Amino acid sequence: MTMHESTRMMVDHLTGALAARGVAVERFDLTTVDIGELAMSLVDAATVVIGTPTVLTGPHPLAAYAAFLANALKPKAKWATVIGSYGWAGKAVEKLAEMLPNLKVELLGPVLCKGMPRDDDYAALDVLAGAIAAKHAGLASR
Ligand SMILES: Cc1cc2nc3c(=O)[nH]c(=O)nc-3n(C[C@H](O)[C@H](O)[C@H](O)COP(=O)(O)O)c2cc1C
């Protein structure tokens, strides 16, 4: 979800960067999601990326809801991270990580941008996409 579109722009970019690297992406808009579909996708995902703006120093409530669901489902995901936008400061990543004690995942470097994403934020998302693609390639060869 997104209030001023920055998080959506980041999710759009990461989705494209992952697809360009051959990583299959299932993307859910948490404002309209069918939680049954989200749950099915979570169970199978190798990597979970939560996109959220910072709201009242933490994740948006809908991202917290998705994290609660993910933690309850205990998916077998191996990697997780957070991307999103903030205005001044916050602890969205730390708070989301605290909400996922059941996930035995390696946390990949989050990408948070201040306000609207700029070139260096898109570059950081490309690095993240490359890291996810490399992790998944390792999975396939095992
Ligand atoms: C109700 C509300 C609360 C917010 N609280 C915070 C906050 O605690 N810390 C912060 O850095 N930004 C806060 N922001 C600013 C947003 O995180 C910032 O505008 C961000 O770029 C929005 O991302 P979006 O374009 O994806 O909606 C808040 C914005 C709103 C509307």
pLDDT tens digits along 32-75: 999 999 999 999 999 999 999 999 999 999 999 999 999 999 88
Ligand 1 cavity residues, CB under 6 Å: 2-7, 53-57, 85-90, 115
Answer yes or no: is 121 within a domain.
yes
Residue 1 lies in a domain: no
The model's pTM is: 0.95
Of the candidates 96, 27, 15, 102, the residue with the CA atom closest to the CA atom of residue 55: 96
Q: Write out pLDDT tens, residues 81-92.
A: 999 999 999 899
Instruction: Report yes or no on 37 lying in a domain.
Output: yes
Q: Measured between alpha carbons, how far is 56 from 36 in angstroms, rounded to an integer? A: 28
* CATH number of the domain that residue 112 is part of: 3.40.50.360
How many angstroms does the Cα of residue 54 sit away from the middle of ligand 1? 5
- Run of H or E residues at 114: strand 111-114
83 part of a folded domain: yes
State the average pLDDT over residues 76-85.
96
Mutate to test the pocket of ligand 1, among 3, 12, 111 (most ligand atoms within 8 A of CB): 3
**Phi, psi (rounded to 5 degrees) for 62:** -70, -30
Structural domain includes residue 41: yes
What average pLDDT score do residues 104-121 get? 96
- Classify residue 50 by its DSSP letter: E
Note down the domain range covering 82: 6-140
Q: What is the mean pLDDT of residues 20-29?
A: 97
Looking at ligand 1, which atom is closest to the CA of residue 9? Answer: 26
Residue 115, pLDDT score: 96
33 falls within a domain: yes
Q: Does residue 99 lie within any of the structural domains? A: yes
pLDDT score, position 139: 85
Considering its fold, how many domains does the chain have in total? 1
Helices (H), the chain: 6-20, 35-44, 61-73, 92-98, 119-140
How far, in Å, is the centroid of ligand 1 from the Cα of 3? 8
pLDDT at residue 75 in the model: 86
